[in-house]
Amino acid sequence: MKTLLTLFFTVVCLAQPQQTKNYLEESRPQYEARMKWWSEARFGMFIHWGLYSIPAGEWKGSTNHAEWIRTTARIPLEEYNKFVGQFNPVKFNPTEWVRMAKNAGMKYIVITSKHHDGFCLFDSKFTDFDIMATPFKRDILKELADACHKEGIKICWYHSIMDWHHPDYLPRREWENDRPNAGAEYERYVQHMKNQLKELLTNYGQISVLWFDGEWESTWNTKYGTELYDYVRSLQPNIIINNRVGAGRSGMEGFTKAGQFAGDFGTPEQEIPATGLSGVSWETCMTMNDNWGFNKNDQKWKSTEDLIHKLADIASKGGNFLLNVGPTSEGVFPQQAIERLRELGGWMKINGESIYETKASPFKGLEWGRCTQKAIDGGARLYLHVFNWPANGKLIVPGILNEPKQAFLLADKEQLHLLVRRQEDALVIDVPAIAPDPNNSVVVVDVRGGVDVTTPPIISAKFDIFVDALDVTVKSEREKVDLRYTLDGTTPAASSTLVTGPIRLTGTTTVTARCFHDGKPVSGSVSSRFTKVEPRPSTNLTASVPGIRYSYYEGSWSSMPDFALLKPVKQGILPEFDLSPRNLPEDFAFEYRGFVRALESGIYGFFTDSDDGSRLFIGDVLVVDNDGLHGIREKKGVVALAAGLHPIRVEFFQKSGGRELRVLMQGPKGEKQEIPASSLFIEK
Ligand code: FHN
């Protein structure tokens, strides 16, 4: 029956007149008005739920799967479809879920309407692979949306572009021999996705965010993405859409490459950017343990302290925090998640004002914690998130030129004033001996006028180690300041040496710098240490030939495995670093061993660009640590080498999603480049 309806609706939808307004031409004020509630909300709940909660991460003895289990365990579709008949989350209580989010201080919920496996948690006329085909037979999204609307929480959909079930989606999984491409029409799949999005955006009331995902495969592109953005906005003009609607996101760091279509906000995943990006909306999404979908064996739960710090860190950079819960197949949140939500709520109940509607910190960094801020009449209110409470009762806020109006503890209902006085560039606040909160105590400081902060100077050099001599530069982002420095680790004073150009070092030195104006310090100080080193002696090989040895492994890891404990599937010699000699599995690892040639003695930078984790050793020294589950990410390290051959070892592992490895080096006078075959050797 549904098939006939599908055909009917597909024809009807294709016949729909195209909407006239082009939502891509929205003005900045219109964009900011539409984003206002989201930017003020700062904190939301992510929910990954579906058939994968039934195996709960386990398959044929392997226990580190989750929502990707159909692919990571290579379960044939026919086998996976059997979960439909088992999905009966009788304990599902939407109001309970929504109240747990609300009481945790979360303002919106993003739930998987359809994840990559293609199963729909809602009643769709366009597929039988949905909740109505299960024993549960209740439209989960409808019940959750109703509960959200009733409780004043924004309801949002996560929707995967990638679909491992629909016959028209391409590409198939490489290992799927039972699902030939024949007859698949991707354009028909795109229309199917639009048909379902029309259901999701017309049958469930106001939907606040459409959180696309699974956009990275070659079949999706910017044209599809911009059209889909426009289409979704035509159905709910005020909806917000993430950057994964397009095809321009750069891996897990989540921001959109320059010039690509960026949707409405960036989506760093499992990581918090080092700084916010001015004028760019972004949201870090993160798991509470190691998995998005429920994994009954995953006990790597982040502590509540860590989650509160992450929330404050993200808000201090102007971002939102989308924290995930993976419910069980019975329809309940794991107890560890419930406890953390309750503890987060306890902190937010007292300190939520320091998160909601705040803007990013005016400081580059604070030793004791983070800062968020709000404009108030005649000035600004600073929320000082103090993770490390000062033992001496003096909280120092460096480099701020504003005069204070008042200070108090946010947790203090009486708002008893704390003594605030100026000490050179800093405000010093006398705080009680005991911190009001064990994880993050918020001190409020109101200051007069627009916030006027001078960040410490920037001390930089090509590397932080050197062989003979090194030129160090000291600069400030602020104009009309004098930069003064010391070379003995002491804090610069008005009488210290003025920076007049590069500072040449010939021995190991700590450079400390500070900004001054009219002979007074106006910033905190900053120090960097530069070390003089001896080059590592080269290795003399009796005979060598070009190449690099590789060992290839299969398995599923979330961090670099210990290769000494593994048996390689195959080994060989390659001309350079390369992932090609692998088999079909999504999850695999490589170890490369050989020698790299240093053409001259000096300092060498090594880099790995990888998705997922990688590490690079010279000899037994770990020079680049780029381990972990992440999108394409570059990490670097430096080492001093004598001219000649040096042993190099590179490790790499891949787990689901994108896969990439580039190994680069930069010599004392050369440019950064991928290590060419001409620089790689093995012992004959
Ligand atoms: O592949 C998905 C993954 O299962 C999960 O949904 C995360 C959450 O944003 N997104 C993708 C991985 O980047």
Q: DSSP readout, 130-199?
A: BGGGSTT-S-HHHHHHHHHHHHT-EEEEEEES--SS-TT-SSPPTT-TTS--TT--HHHHHHHHHHHHHH
Token pair of 447 as six digits: 């200051």
Domain co-membership, 217 together with 175: yes
Domain co-membership, 467 together with 378: no
Choose one of 159, 215, 255, 269 to mutate for the ligand 1 pocket test, by most ligand atoms within 8 angstroms of C-beta.
269
Residue 673: partners with Cβ closer than 8 Å, 6 or more residues away? 664, 665, 666
pLDDT band at 176 (very low <50, low <70, confident <90, very high): very high
Tell me the per-residue pLDDT of 281-306, one tens digit each, with 9 for 90 and over.
999 999 999 999 999 999 999 999 99
**Cis peptide before 612, with omega less than 30 degrees from 0?**
yes
pLDDT at 20 (0 to 100): 53
Q: Which atom of ligand 1 is nearest to the CA of 269?
A: 9
Q: DSSP string covering 270-281, please?
A: SS--SS--TT--
Residue 16: partners with Cβ closer than 8 Å, 6 or more residues away? none
Q: Is the CB of 251 under 6 A from ligand 1?
A: no
CATH assignment of the domain containing 584: 2.60.120.1560
- Residue 68 domain flag: yes
Domain co-membership, 425 together with 491: no
Distance 213 CA to ligand 1 centre (A): 7
Average pLDDT over residues 597-619: 96
- If phi > 0 it is left, if psi is from -120 to 50 it is alpha, else beta; for residue 239 that is beta
Tell me the per-residue pLDDT of 667-681, one tens digit each, with 9 for 90 and over.
998 899 999 999 999
Cβ atoms within 10 Å of 378's Cβ, excluding its own: 10
Which structural domain range is residue 220 located in? 32-354
Q: Is the CB of 285 under 6 A from ligand 1?
A: yes
Residue nearest to atom 10 of ligand 1 (CA): 213
Q: Is the CB of 271 under 6 A from ligand 1?
A: no
Domain co-membership, 298 together with 409: no
Token pair of 597 as six digits: 């040639």
Q: Which atom of ligand 1 is nearest to the CA of 162?
A: 1
Q: Is the CB of 657 under 6 A from ligand 1?
A: yes
- Residue 78 domain flag: yes
Domain co-membership, 486 together with 600: no
Domain co-membership, 503 together with 442: no
Q: Which atom of ligand 1 is nearest to the CA of 656?
A: 1
504 and 469 in contact (C-beta within 8 Å)? yes
CA distance 600 to 598: 6
- Residue 5 domain flag: no
Q: Are strands 465-466 and 526-532 parallel, antiparallel or unpaired?
A: parallel
Domain co-membership, 465 together with 435: no
Domain co-membership, 225 together with 331: yes
Cβ atoms within 10 Å of 369's Cβ, excluding its own: 20
Q: Are strands 673-674 and 660-666 parallel, antiparallel or unpaired?
A: antiparallel
pLDDT band at 13 (very low <50, low <70, confident <90, very high): very low
Q: Measured between alpha carbons, how far is residue 32 from residues 41, 245, 268 in Å?
A: 14, 19, 20
Helix (H, G, I), strand (E, B) or coil at 97: helix
Q: In this model, does residue 329 exceed pLDDT 60?
A: yes
Q: Is the CB of 67 under 6 A from ligand 1?
A: yes
Q: 371: exposed, middle or buried (C-beta count within 10 Å: 0-12, 13-18, 19+)?
A: buried
pLDDT at 585 (0 to 100): 67
Q: In this model, does residue 223 exceed pLDDT 60?
A: yes
CATH assignment of the domain containing 436: 2.60.40.1180
- Residue 11 domain flag: no
CA distance 73 to 53: 14
Q: Is the CB of 347 under 6 A from ligand 1?
A: no
- Domains: count for the chain: 4
- Residue 8 domain flag: no
Q: Is the CB of 269 under 6 A from ligand 1?
A: yes
Choose one of 249, 292, 612 to mutate for the ligand 1 pocket test, by most ligand atoms within 8 angstroms of C-beta.
292
Which of 468, 498, 532 represents a domain boundary (last residue)? Answer: 532
Average pLDDT over residues 69-91: 96
CATH assignment of the domain containing 497: 2.60.40
